[in-house]
Amino acid sequence: MLTQERNEILTHVGRGTKLGELLRRYWYPVAFTADLEDFPVRKARLVGEDLVVFRLDDGTYGMLDEQCPHRRASLAYGVAEPEGIRCGYHGWLFAPDGQCLEQPAESEESTFSDRIQTGAYPVQELGGLVWGYLGPSPVPELPRFDIFTWTDVWRDAGWAMLPINFMQIMENAVDPTHVEWLHGRYANFIRTRKGLASALTFSRRHVKIAFDEFDHGITKRRLLEGQSEDADDWKIGHPLVFPYMMKVGGGAHRQMQIRVPIDDTTTWFILYSTHKPEGVTLPPQESFPNYEVPWRDERGQHIVDYVEGQDIMAWVTQGGTPDRTQEHLGKSDTGVILLRKVVFENIEKVQRGEDPLGVMRDANAARNIDLPIERDKFGGGAAFEWEFLTAASTRYSPQIDRLRQLYAKAEEAHKALASEVSGMR
């Protein structure tokens, strides 16, 4: 349970709030690269700030405050030009550094563009995402987590804009036992009624859970019934990447779950996946699809027959901001309690003028950050991969048939290898 005051600190992301100031020390995805290639000007919103993100012909990115300093029209309806973005209303032109370059409706004598500067923020491209930073200088390094840097994989990204605060989604990232109930018992209750196969690998009982703090967040580990302590789930686990991501996956599927805090009660939930089925030569993938994942049906009911739909049901029904004064935590909530402690500790760090957890200043160290996760997830082997292609959000991907073919090929290659090996015995 939290006091009302602490619940508000934990969930307010705007400028000048305690958490908001902590969150402004990190880089966030603000757009998909492919979307800006399709159309070079997009509105973005991040920790309560309205922004415009754009791409110039030479590939330079820019991110500015959305409202034009002239008479406040939206630059998200601006014109991308070689030097910057031109407001759609009266044509003021802004460079990516926020400097006003032209006021075409003014005469040469009356122009005052040199005195006009709008809010401008650093932007970088990484892994098919455009990342922005809203915080103070000096600007930290953009951490290049492994999954965003791999070149020999196929990518796939589903997303949903959820009407809730991001912190309850992060609490779910340190809540191992929900898997056996939400994705096991509840999922099977729903799926058997629909005539769908039961989710096998998710149903195993948790014997114990553990959490370890590390340089970029918290690793969570679990021991399931029947497993020995050298199982990947216990030995390796997977990380919550502070303050807004979690890396998961199993087998040839890796996924960064990104929970971008848009404002106090909106979160952009991105399921950024990579696939590298073993024994298959992957054809190169020029760009990857991003697609909206449906989570409500036509009657407004939650869609709960797939994994992330079940998570979304739990998060959304907790409320836009859960009333944590009314909760009752137990031993199984140890990870949730730890996450809150880490958040409050890092709020204090920022207040003391220190860098919070995971903020990087060393370009070399930020170049490629390894985030180990389980390979054999829940002891499921290839079954886990297949469940992710049928009973998780990837089923909505426009390239799902292609992905299934690639995994089927991998299975064939595996079988061929196995029979060759047994033939050699």
Contact footprint for ligand FES (CB under 6 A)? 68, 70-71, 73, 87, 89-92
Question: Closest separation between CB of residue 92 and ligand FES, Å?
Answer: 4
Distances (CA, A) of 81 to 100, 230, 324, 406: 13, 57, 48, 41
Q: Smaller CB distance to Fe ion: residue 41 or 307?
A: 307
**Tokens describing residue 224:** 């399931």
Question: Closest separation between CB of residue 69 and ligand FES, Å?
Answer: 8
Indicate if the alpha-carbon torsion angle 79, 35, 293, 311 is positive or negative: negative
Residue 156 contact partner, candidates ligand FES, Fe ion, none, CB within 5 to 8 A by sort of partner: none
Q: Smaller CB distance to Fe ion: residue 21 or 311?
A: 311
Cβ neighbourhood burial of 177 (10 Å; 0-12, 13-18, 19+): middle
Question: Closest separation between CB of residue 99 and ligand FES, Å?
Answer: 15
122-161 b/e (C-beta count within 10 Å ≥ 16 → b): bbeebbbbbbbbbbeeeebbbbbbbbbeeeebbbbbbbbe
Neighbouring CB atoms inside 10 A of 249's CB total 22
Q: Smaller CB distance to ligand FES: residue 68 or 343?
A: 68
Residue 68 contact partner, candidates Fe ion, ligand FES, none, CB within 5 to 8 A by sort of partner: ligand FES
- Distance, in Å, from the CA atom of 116 to the CA atom of 98, rounded to the nearest integer, reads 8
Find out whether 395 and 401 touch, Cβ atoms under 8 Å. no
Q: Smaller CB distance to ligand FES: residue 73 or 126?
A: 73
Q: Smaller CB distance to ligand FES: residue 52 or 68?
A: 68
- Distance, in Å, from the CA atom of 99 to the CA atom of 109, rounded to the nearest integer, reads 19
Residue 185 contact partner, candidates ligand FES, Fe ion, none, CB within 5 to 8 A by sort of partner: none
The contact set with Fe ion (CB under 5 A) reads 311
Question: Closest separation between CB of residue 113 and ligand FES, Å?
Answer: 11
- Distance, in Å, from the CA atom of 143 to the CA atom of 245, rounded to the nearest integer, reads 12
Question: Closest separation between CB of residue 102 and ligand FES, Å?
Answer: 10
Question: Closest separation between CB of residue 40 and ligand FES, Å?
Answer: 18
Q: Smaller CB distance to ligand FES: residue 66 or 308?
A: 66
Question: Closest separation between CB of residue 108 and ligand FES, Å?
Answer: 18
Residue 264 contact partner, candidates ligand FES, Fe ion, none, CB within 5 to 8 A by sort of partner: none
Instruction: Put residue 98 in one of left, alpha, beta given phi > 0 → left and psi -120 to 50 → alpha.
Output: left
Residue 89 contact partner, candidates Fe ion, ligand FES, none, CB within 5 to 8 A by sort of partner: ligand FES
Residue 311 contact partner, candidates Fe ion, ligand FES, none, CB within 5 to 8 A by sort of partner: Fe ion
Q: Smaller CB distance to ligand FES: residue 102 or 278?
A: 102
Question: Closest separation between CB of residue 310 and Fe ion, Å?
Answer: 7
- Distance, in Å, from the CA atom of 68 to the CA atom of 48, rounded to the nearest integer, reads 17
Q: Smaller CB distance to ligand FES: residue 51 or 391?
A: 51
